[in-house]
Structure formats: C-alpha cells, structure tokens
Amino acid sequence: MSDTKRTPPAQVNEGIQATSVSAEVMAVGRNARAFQNTERSSSQQELLQAVEQLRKGLESLQLQSHAKAAVDEDMAKLQSAAESGDHKADHAGHILESLSGKLKMVGVVLSEAVHLSEPLRKIAELLHIPLHLLG
C-alpha cells in the first residue's frame, strides 16, 4: 500500500436521488443555501383569483342555508390553503372533491355551470390536481 492520499471525486452525490421534485426552494450539497422571495408568486395570485371567482360563482347559486354552510366550510379551507402558499395537491384535491360532492348532492352539475367549472379547472391546473377527481 502506498501512503498517498486519495483525492475526492470532483462531483459528490450528497445522497439525494429523486425522479421528481416539487419545491418552492431547494438547496443541495455542502454549504448550500436556498432563499425564498416572500412576495406572492404570479401562480399564487392566479390561484387566489380563481378561488375568489369560484366563491362568487357559488354565491350566485343561492343555495339553501344548510347547503351554503357546508359549501362555505370547504371554501374557507380552500381559501386558507391558497393563502398559505403550501400548495399540497392531495390536501387541496380532498377539499375540491368534498366541495364537488356537496354541490352534486344539491343538484349542481359542475360541467354545466361554466361560472363554477372554469375556476375549478384553473385551481386544479395550478395545483396539479387531476380533473377526474372533481367529477
């Protein structure tokens, strides 16, 4: 054996392997730093606008008080998720699926209500939620 030191390879894998990554910011490796701009991104603005458009569309339905209360609960959750910036598709997907189910129960057909289907489609697109979840 020789006393020579081994030189580390020029590139070192820090142990992260992924086929797909979704993140607001990310830093990998030694002394890595990640910064996040705290201003709302354009996609978050679009999401908040779509949620507001959906809220206005729902208000135009003039639902009975019990149905309105149930729908308002889901809308509050959706608004909170949109404002948080923590856009987890599975969480938002469950909220939209719940909202869709409640609307179906009171006889609203989303595909026929353009003032609802368009903002729902936009929200699903921005959060990468499959449209088939919404019926």
For the chain, what percent of residues have pLDDT higher than 70?
A: 79
Amino acid at 82: A
> pLDDT at position 54, please?
94
For the chain, what percent of residues have pLDDT higher than 90?
A: 28
Cβ within 8 Å of residue 117, ≥6 positions away: 110, 111
pLDDT reading at 33 higher than 60: yes
DSSP class of residue 29? S
Q: What would the mean pLDDT of 101-115 be, rounded to a whole number?
A: 85
Q: What would the mean pLDDT of 100-110 be, rounded to a whole number?
A: 88
> pLDDT at position 132, please?
75
> pLDDT at position 73, please?
95
Q: What is the enclosing helix (H) or strand (E) of 104?
A: helix 89-105
Q: Which residue has the tokens 């910011």?
A: 25
